[in-house]
């Protein structure tokens, strides 16, 4: 009989696991999902060549769409046998040579290459192309190229790889499907003319929709509840034999497997009831709505839930509304204001001086001498900031520069002394006002000075 504490630990682990590693369950965008799936299936089954770009902002679920589609296709034997999947990432495969090598390995052609000297880029490319071209529609395996961070590939020299891939996809050779994933909307403009003309111009846009808050509450319930035994049994085991296929498909390597977990019936019931009651409470809904206003993407929400779930431990076996609002407050805070509150009064005074300068001169750049003059005008009349040496003020000013609160304006100023180096302010006035308001035990005269520049 498991102890109650252990149950909580397993619950936490289960929930974290599902939040972190469930690359397969894809929600929303059914049309796009079907579209991509159909495309891949046609490539493999009927030998159509294709190219498509999936475009969407970060966190909109582009990669997840691909992994989910692949997972569903790979469970079909026909697809599994007839497809080769090459997965490249613009961040990892930083030039065409590396990308080509990786592609060769992933297509299991490296043995064929080994006989020849795995020599120059050109040789390698022509070999790979020959392999691709020698096939025809009916007998050769189809190849699916997945290019993540597609925009990075556009920066490669002459876009050789893209040119050749698109070229093959345009001619009746080995059927290949090129799937590009990117978050740059202007990605087509990055392609060279000769590359662009070979691209099919099929684009799929994924943009998170932000007008259905009820869905978010449902998602909260779905992600937080535990599966009952019946549900667990109904699930099919998730496993793909990656060794046969392609060991580089890392996102499919460590997927979430609910079958590995076991819970007692009473605990599951109790927990699910707890979640239900949380989800129906008004206070929780306000917090969720607030988060929904910040960011509608699922990734952001999962990130929040991860943090929330991590609060669970045997001594704290249930989540409270208080927990939820506390975790949400992390996303509400402005890091810059927090940092401003950690500065000394002197440094804050300099920031106020900079603010006054910026308001008067309409955000003109400034140097240390200007700010020092303004600060000294204030310091002369104040009781708290009198008698601070220039060197100490300079040090405080440099500290602000290190924190990137002010940053030097560019333009050949290498030989200028640091006192005269022109800088610009990297904060908004609102942030400064907030920081002044929140600063603990700020001398009244400084607070007053912050309000008006007349010292």
Partner 1 sequence: MSIANVLEIARKYPCREQIITELNDLIGSPSEPLPNAIYVYGHTGTGKTAIVTEFLQSLPIKSKILSCIECYTSKLLYEHVLNSFYSHTVSKSNNYTPFVKCESMHGFIESLRQLPADSSYIICLEDAERLRDMDINILPTVLRLQEMTGLNICTILISQLPFDKFYLKTGLVEVQTIFFPQYTKAETQTILGNDFVNVKKRLASKLDNNEWSKILDDLESDFYDNYLNIFLNVFYRACRDFPELRSISRDCFQVYVEPVLNGTIDRNDVSKLWRNISKPLSAALTAVYMRMDSAAENQSNKALEDNQSFKRISQSVELPYYAKYLLIAAYLASHNAANQDKRLFVKNHGKQKKRLQTVNAQAKVTEKMQTNLGPKSFTVDRLLAIFYAILDEKVGLTCNLLSQISSLVHLKFLSFVSGEGNLMEGSARLQCTVGLDFVSHIGRIVGFNVMQYLCDFM
Residue numbers 340-399 binding partner 1 by CB under 8 A:
341-346, 357, 361, 366-367, 369-370, 373-374, 384-385, 387-389, 391-392, 395-396
- Within 8 A by CB and 6+ apart from 238, the residues are 24, 71, 255, 256, 257, 259
Binding residue for partner 1, selected from 330, 362, 411, 454, defined by CB under 8 A: 330
- Within 8 A by CB and 6+ apart from 209, the residues are 28, 296
For residues 355-366, one letter each, b for 16 or more C-beta atoms within 10 angstroms of the residue's C-beta and e for the rest, the string is bbbbeeeeeebb
Distance CA 8, CA 222 (A): 18
Nearer to partner 1, 237 or 335 (CB): 335
Distance CA 224, CA 15 (A): 7
State the helix-helix crossing angle for 265-280 and 213-224, rounded to 10 degrees: 160
Kindly identify the residues of this chain, within the stretch 206-245, that bind partner 1 according to CB under 8 A. Answer: none
Residue 405 exposed, middle or buried by CB count within 10 Å (0-12, 13-18, 19+): buried
Binding residue for partner 1, selected from 109, 129, 279, 299, defined by CB under 8 A: 299
Part of the chain binding partner 1 (CB under 8 A), chosen from 12-20, 37-45, 46-54, 197-205 = 12-20
* Cβ atoms of residues 165 and 178 within 8 Å: yes
- Distances, alpha carbon 397 to alpha carbons 42, 55, 298, 449, in Å: 64, 44, 41, 19
Binding mask of the shown chain, residues 101 to 140, with x at each position contacting partner 1 by CB under 8 A? -x--------------------------------------
Question: Is residue 294 a contact point for partner 1 (CB under 8 A)?
Answer: no
Q: Containing H/E element for 449? A: helix 444-451
Binding residue for partner 1, selected from 118, 229, 404, 451, defined by CB under 8 A: 404
Quote the least distance from Cβ 296 to partner 1, whole Å.
Answer: 13
Distance CA 337, CA 351 (A): 12
Question: Is residue 333 a contact point for partner 1 (CB under 8 A)?
Answer: yes
Q: How many CB atoms lie within 10 A of CB 129?
A: 16
Quote the least distance from Cβ 264 to partner 1, whole Å.
Answer: 19
Nearer to partner 1, 98 or 283 (CB): 98
Nearer to partner 1, 81 or 259 (CB): 259
Part of the chain binding partner 1 (CB under 8 A), chosen from 25-33, 201-209, 228-236, 297-305 = 297-305
> Considering CB under 8 A, how many residues would be counted as binding partner 1?
81
Question: Is residue 258 a contact point for partner 1 (CB under 8 A)?
Answer: no
Binding residue for partner 1, selected from 11, 49, 51, 89, defined by CB under 8 A: 89
Nearer to partner 1, 21 or 141 (CB): 21
Nearer to partner 1, 138 or 386 (CB): 386
Question: Is residue 9 a contact point for partner 1 (CB under 8 A)?
Answer: yes
Quote the least distance from Cβ 285 to partner 1, whole Å.
Answer: 22
Nearer to partner 1, 21 or 270 (CB): 21
Residue 144 exposed, middle or buried by CB count within 10 Å (0-12, 13-18, 19+): buried
Nearer to partner 1, 92 or 109 (CB): 92
Distance CA 257, CA 27 (A): 18
Residue 183 exposed, middle or buried by CB count within 10 Å (0-12, 13-18, 19+): middle
Binding residue for partner 1, selected from 253, 259, 363, 380, defined by CB under 8 A: 253
Strand order in the sheet with 50-55: 83-89, 142-148, 176-182, 50-55, 202-205
Helix ranges (H only) for 22-84 are 30-45, 62-74, 77-82
Kindly identify the residues of this chain, within the stretch 24-53, that bind partner 1 according to CB under 8 A. Answer: none
Quote the least distance from Cβ 340 to partner 1, whole Å.
Answer: 10
Question: Is residue 57 a contact point for partner 1 (CB under 8 A)?
Answer: yes
Binding residue for partner 1, selected from 306, 424, 433, 453, defined by CB under 8 A: 306
Nearer to partner 1, 211 or 315 (CB): 315
Kindly identify the residues of this chain, within the stretch 153-212, that bind partner 1 according to CB under 8 A. Answer: 183-184
Quote the least distance from Cβ 432 to partner 1, whole Å.
Answer: 15
Nearer to partner 1, 44 or 372 (CB): 372
DSSP summary character for residue 80:
H
Kindly identify the residues of this chain, within the stretch 67-86, that bind partner 1 according to CB under 8 A. Answer: none
Closest CA to 327 of 289, 296, 292, 287: 287
> Distance between terminal CA atoms of the chain?
73
């Amino acid at each position: 009989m498991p102890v109650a504490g252990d149950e909580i630990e397993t619950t936490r682990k289960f929930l974290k696991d599902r939040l972190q590693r469930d690359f397969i369950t894809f929600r929303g965008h059914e049309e796009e999902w079907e579209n991509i799936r159909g495309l891949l299936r046609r490539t493999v089954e009927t030998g159509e060549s294709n190219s498509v770009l999936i475009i969407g902002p970060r966190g909109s679920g582009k990669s997840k769409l691909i992994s989910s589609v692949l997972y569903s296709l790979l469970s079909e034997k026909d697809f599994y046998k007839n497809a080769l999947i090459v997965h490249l990432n613009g961040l990892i495969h930083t030039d065409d040579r590396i990308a080509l090598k990786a592609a060769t390995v992933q297509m299991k052609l490296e043995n064929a290459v080994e006989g020849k000297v795995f020599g120059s880029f050109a040789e390698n490319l022509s070999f790979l192309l020959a392999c691709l071209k020698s096939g025809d529609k009916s007998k050769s395996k189809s190849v699916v190229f997945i290019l993540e961070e597609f925009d990075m590939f556009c920066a490669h020299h002459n876009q050789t790889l893209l040119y050749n891939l698109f070229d093959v996809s345009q001619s009746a050779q080995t059927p290949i499907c090129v799937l590009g994933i990117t978050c740059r909307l202007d990605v087509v403009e990055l392609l060279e003319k000769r590359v662009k003309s070979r691209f099919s111009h099929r684009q799929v846009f994924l943009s998170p929709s932000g007008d259905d808050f009820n869905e978010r509450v449902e998602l909260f319930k779905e992600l937080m509840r535990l599966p009952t035994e019946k549900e667990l049994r109904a699930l099919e085991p998730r496993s793909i034999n990656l060794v046969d296929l392609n060991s580089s498909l890392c996102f499919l390597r460590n997927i979430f497997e609910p079958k590995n977990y076991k819970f007692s019936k009473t605990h599951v019931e109790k927990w699910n009831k707890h979640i239900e009651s949380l989800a129906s409470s008004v206070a929780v809904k306000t917090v969720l709505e607030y988060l929904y206003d910040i960011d509608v993407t699922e990734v952001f929400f999962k990130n929040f839930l991860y943090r929330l779930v991590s609060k669970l431990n045997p001594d704290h076996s249930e989540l409270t509304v208080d927990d939820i609002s506390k975790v949400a407050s992390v996303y509400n805070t402005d890091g810059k204001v927090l940092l401003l509150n950690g500065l000394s009064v002197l440094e804050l005074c300099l920031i106020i001086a900079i603010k006054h300068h910026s308001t008067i001169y309409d955000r003109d750049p400034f140097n240390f001498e200007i700010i020092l003059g303004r600060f000294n005008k204030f310091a002369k009349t104040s009781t708290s900031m009198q008698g601070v040496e220039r060197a100490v003020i300079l040090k405080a000013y440099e500290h602000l520069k290190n924190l990137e609160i002010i940053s030097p304006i560019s333009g050949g100023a290498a030989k200028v002394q640091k006192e005269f180096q022109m800088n610009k302010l990297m904060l908004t006035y609102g942030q400064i006002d907030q920081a002044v308001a929140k600063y603990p035990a700020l001398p009244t005269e400084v607070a007053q000075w912050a309000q008006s520049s007349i010292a």
